[in-house]
Amino acid sequence: MFIQTEATPNPATLKFLPGRPVLEHGTLDLRSADEAAKSPLAARLFGIPSINGVFFGSDFITVTKADGEWPQLKPAILGAIMEHFMSGAPLLNEGQTAESSDEEEFFEPADADTVATIKELIETRVRPAVANDGGDITFRGFRDGVVFLHMKGACSGCPSSTATLRHGIQNLLRHYVPDVVEVRPM
C-alpha cells in the first residue's frame, strides 16, 4: 500500500492520501482523544504523541499536530494508517456516523432562496477547493447579511483561513449574492 502525503496551507496539518476511499458520506472532524473513540483509526492516530486533530474526508485524512516536527511524526502516522487499512477494520465503530453537513443551521424563512444560492455556491465552488487543501467548510447560518461557516480539518486553525474567508469566499458570495455583506467563521 502506498500512501501519498501533501502539505496543506496550515503548517500544523498534513494531508494523507491512502489511495482508497476513506469516508463514504460526509466528513468527520475529531479534535480530542475522547472524540476519537468513534474510530479505531482516529484512536490509533491520537495515540501518537503531539497529535491533536484528525479529519476524515472522502479519500483523504488530515492530521494536525500540537508540536513536534513532521519528519519525526510522519513515519508513525503512515504506519498507523497503513496498519488500519491493511487490517480491514472499519473506519467508524459500530453505531457511529460521520457528521451531517446540515446540523445546527439557522436563517429566517424569508431568506430561504438566498440561503439555497449560498449553499449551492459553497457546495460547487468552495468545498471542492478546500478539500484539495485537506479541509472542509460547511454552511451554518445566515443573519443580517452575514454568512456563518464552520471550518474543519486543515482549515480549522489555519493561519491563512481568515484570508480564505475574507478574500476568497466572501468575494465569491458577494459577487453572486448581493444580500451577502460578510462571511464569518463559527
CATH number (domain holding residue 173): 3.30.300.130
- Asked if residue 95 is part of any domain, the answer here is no
Asked whether residue 72 falls in the same domain as residue 21, the answer is yes
Domain that holds residue 71: 4-87
* Joined grid coordinates for residue 182: 460578510
Asked whether residue 17 falls in the same domain as residue 72, the answer is yes
- Asked if residue 96 is part of any domain, the answer here is no
Which pLDDT score, from 0 to 100, does residue 128 have? 87
- Asked if residue 10 is part of any domain, the answer here is yes
Which of 87, 117, 141 terminates a domain? The answer is 87
- Pairing outcome for strands 51-56 and 61-65: antiparallel
Mean pLDDT of the chain: 90
Which pLDDT score, from 0 to 100, does residue 103 have? 63
Asked whether residue 14 falls in the same domain as residue 76, the answer is yes
* Joined grid coordinates for residue 15: 494531508
Look up the pTM and report it: 0.81
CA-CA distances (angstroms) from residue 74 to 49, 64, 102, 119?
12, 11, 33, 36
- Asked if residue 139 is part of any domain, the answer here is yes
Which of 52, 87, 122 terminates a domain? The answer is 87
Contact 105, 141 (CB under 8 A): yes
- Asked if residue 58 is part of any domain, the answer here is yes
Place 160 in a pLDDT band, splitting at 50, 70 and 90: confident
CATH number at residue 59: 3.30.1370.70
pLDDT per position as a tens digit, 32-51: 999 999 999 999 999 999 99
- Domain count along the chain: 2
Selected residue with higher pLDDT from 107 and 159: 107
- Asked if residue 37 is part of any domain, the answer here is yes
CA angle 134/137/138 to nearest 5° reads 145
CA atoms within 13 A on the CB side of 119: 15
- Asked if residue 94 is part of any domain, the answer here is no
Collapsing DSSP states into helix, strand and coil, what is residue 142? strand
Asked whether residue 77 falls in the same domain as residue 9, the answer is yes
Asked whether residue 13 falls in the same domain as residue 80, the answer is yes
Asked whether residue 53 falls in the same domain as residue 116, the answer is no
CA-CA distances (angstroms) from residue 139 to 32, 96, 126, 176?
23, 22, 11, 16
Buried b (16+ CB within 10 A) or exposed e, 130-140: bbebbbbbbbb
Asked whether residue 78 falls in the same domain as residue 138, the answer is no
Asked whether residue 117 falls in the same domain as residue 168, the answer is yes
Asked whether residue 55 falls in the same domain as residue 125, the answer is no
What would the mean pLDDT of 132-154 be, rounded to a whole number? 90
Asked whether residue 113 falls in the same domain as residue 48, the answer is no
Residue 179's Cβ-count burial label (10 Å; 0-12, 13-18, 19+) is middle
User: Of all residues in the chain, what percent carry a pLDDT higher than 90?
Assistant: 70
- Pairing outcome for strands 182-185 and 13-17: unpaired
